[in-house]
Amino acid sequence: MKKLLNVLKYALLLAFSAAMMWYAVRGLNLSRVGESILQANYWWLGLTLVLSALGYFSRAYRWKMQIDATGYHPSYWEVYHAMMVGYLANLVLPRLGEVLRCSVLRRTSGVPVQVGVGTMITERIIDVVVLGLILGATLLLAFNKFWSFATGLVTDKYDTLGQSKQTLIALAVIGLGLGLVSVYLLWRNLERLRQHRVFGKVLSFVKGMLAGVFSIRRMPHKGIFLLHTVFTWVVYFLMGYLAFFAFPATQHLGLVAALAVLTFGTFGMAAPVQGGFGVYHVLVQSTLLVYGISKEDGIVYALVVHGSQTLLVVLMGGISFALSMVQSGRAGRQVSAKPLVARSPAHVVE
């Protein structure tokens, strides 16, 4: 039953991605879209791929710094291969890569899964903070443009903004009520949960995860960690900005537009769907529409940029998967060989 529910969940997510992609391309001249894709300047896109690869190398080094702070010391390439395998898995099953890369790292270097998950949570929290800062900068620099666009969409769908506010307030009140009820039920049954043996296993896992979460506090070179964080996001920004020059329709766009594409494109990639497929395209297309780019040209930009980055992940992740499997196989043979070495001659004779 559980397997059936998982299959159904991923099928629904895939259907949602397909629906979002259909929404992005509906009513468009697909022949014109295809011609624009073929006419793109792929030299600029090649440059974005080089930057993207550098960003992956930097993220792997940053993750290694976090793991080192927990007392485990895997090699850089073990960390990098595990990370890329995770990115590759996310293209097939959303959110699977987060767990899979910690599992691969455990097989290749012995880092416990809960420690890896903890460091990954810290990584995600930092990225959310950075994304929040970028979103604030985007809205501050282009507030009037986005406000005019957003209010135009809202007023087309609603008679008054007041009706929309009332609906949002009602939903917020319902959500808050459900949250309070959940907390109350958890508090009432806390003692019963503590007596359950599963609770002990969960508590042990959470403790290991928290050790990874707070690993940044024990990190010896926090400045280098911050430098890699800034470098990674600068790379993401430059990837979107340089890709503008690959298409005649977007060559005139500036740094603020690239910041907006980075912001809302990241939200699309963070969506719980396969590789951000569909959601990324709709959000980037809509963002470019704010800057006067037609839907056809917007979807061309989104398709080419997302497609090239996906191919890069498949290439780099595929290589990492093969190498990590070879490495984990060697580690397994070494572990299985140890008991044979430890046996005494008397035991063998018996």
Tokens of residue 130, six digits: 């950075």
Residue 348 pLDDT > 50: no
Alpha helices in 195-342 (DSSP H): 197-213, 222-244, 255-270, 279-290, 295-342
| pLDDT tens figures, 23-69 | 777 878 788 888 888 888 999 999 999 999 999 999 999 999 988 88
Is residue 90 within 8 Å of residue 275, measured between CB atoms? yes
Cα dihedral: 295, 16, 262, 287 (round 10) = 30
| pLDDT higher than 70, residue 211 | no
Confidence band of 335 (pLDDT split at 50, 70, 90): very low
309: pLDDT strictly greater than 70 = yes
Distance of alpha carbon 173 from alpha carbon 236, whole angstroms: 37
Provide, rounded to the nearest whole percent, the portion of the chain with pLDDT above 90: 29
Task: Kindly tell me if the per-residue pLDDT of 305 is higher than 90.
Answer: yes
pTM: 0.75
CB neighbour list of residue 139: distance below 8 Å, 6 or more residues apart = 146
Segment 98-121 mean pLDDT? 86
Side-chain-side CA neighbours of 204 within 13 Å: the count stands at 7
pLDDT digits (tens, 9 = 90+) for 125-160: 888 889 889 988 888 888 777 766 655 554 544 444
* Measured distance CA(92)–CA(26) in Å, rounded: 25
- Which residue has better confidence, 70 or 7? 70
**What is the C-alpha to C-alpha distance for residues 151 and 315, in angstroms, rounded to an integer?**
42
Task: Check pLDDT > 90 for residue 274.
Answer: no
